[in-house]
Amino acid sequence: MSARRVTAAVTVAALASLLVIGAARADGPAISTPGSPTVLANEPHQLTLTWAPSTWIGDPAAEQPINYEVQVPLGPNTYRWLGTTSATTITLTDLAPGTTYRIAVAARALGGYSDTSPATTVRTADGRATVSYLNLDWAPTNNQIQYALRVTNTGTGPLDLTTVRVRYHLRFEGGNTSLVPNCDWAALGCGKIRQTVQFFIPPGGPSPMSTPAPPYPPPGTPVPGWIELTFTGGVLAPGASTGPIQLGSAAPIGDI
């Protein structure tokens, strides 16, 4: 083989190896998986978390700043976003006290991403109140939920009920998020109770160019959410409770 042919063969081989490396980075994560979050501080309404950092996989010359998304996994490719940071420590606020969270971290950057870290399960510290729950409807396939709650002041000082939030977690099995909450009876009066519905549609809806647009989420896709209960007024002395609060919610048949 002549010298010219040898040079050409080496050049072709080098180009082929670059193509293989480029395909590997396009098909998989370009950033290593961050460590599972660990708890630095746990308070009733907030958590401070830290984790091992991610690094770029491959040529460091292509590195870009890495950001971290802190999230609650809800199902396959479904999560609730809690916060974003460029550091490896974050303080999450506005959390519910005495509540268990599964928290994971994923790394994102311009031109790269990582797999999501293993989730850490942590329960926030109890606040100044506890909630008692009683199920009043044991039919799993009907179109309504009925339950009773009681809020008790477990602190050493007065508890302003306007600072209390109670969340009843549920899942809309049929994908239809129509739900009408109501108060059937309450010892402190239904006029002091407000209820709102929150749900989290899985990401990745139909393309806006689709004509006609298919229904989203597809029928039968479970949609997680909750009913949040708040109070317009009232103060509980230490050891006192609201008394029973009987609540119900109804939806089209098969939707919850």
Q: What is the DSSP string of 118-129?
A: PPEEEEPPP-SE
What is the per-residue pLDDT for 155? 83
Of 51-60, 158-167, 184-193, give the lowest mean pLDDT range. Answer: 51-60
What is the per-residue pLDDT for 17? 39
Mean pLDDT score of the chain, rounded to an integer? 81
Of 256, 126, 133, 250, nearest to 182 by C-alpha is 250
Domain ranges of the chain: 29-123, 129-201+208-250
Residue 51 belongs to what H/E stretch? none
78: confidence class by pLDDT, cuts 50, 70, 90: confident
Residue 73: count other Cβ atoms within 10 Å of its Cβ: 15
CATH topology agreement for domains 29-123 and 129-201+208-250: yes
Percent of the chain predicted with pLDDT > 90: 48
Mean pLDDT across 87-111: 92
Alpha-carbon distance values, 93 to 19, 45, 159 (Å): 45, 6, 20
Of 30-34, 45-49, 126-130, 132-136, give the lowest mean pLDDT range. Answer: 126-130
What are the start-end ranges of the E strands in the chain?
38-43, 46-50, 67-75, 78-85, 89-92, 100-109, 112-113, 120-123, 129-135, 144-153, 159-160, 165-172, 180-186, 193-199, 223-231, 235-236, 245-250
Residue 246 β-bridge partners = 148, 185
Of 76, 77, 66, nearest to 110 by C-alpha is 66
What is the per-residue pLDDT for 169? 86
Res. 105: pLDDT tops 90: yes
In whole angstroms, give the CA distance from residue 170 to residue 223: 9
8 Å CB contact between 245 and 149: yes
What is the per-residue pLDDT for 92? 95
Residue 146 β-bridge partners = 248
Res. 245: pLDDT tops 90: yes
What is the per-residue pLDDT for 7? 38
CATH class, domain 29-123, is: mainly beta
Mean pLDDT across 186-207: 82
Mean pLDDT across 119-143: 88
Of 246, 109, 105, nearest to 183 by C-alpha is 246
CATH class, domain 129-201+208-250, is: mainly beta
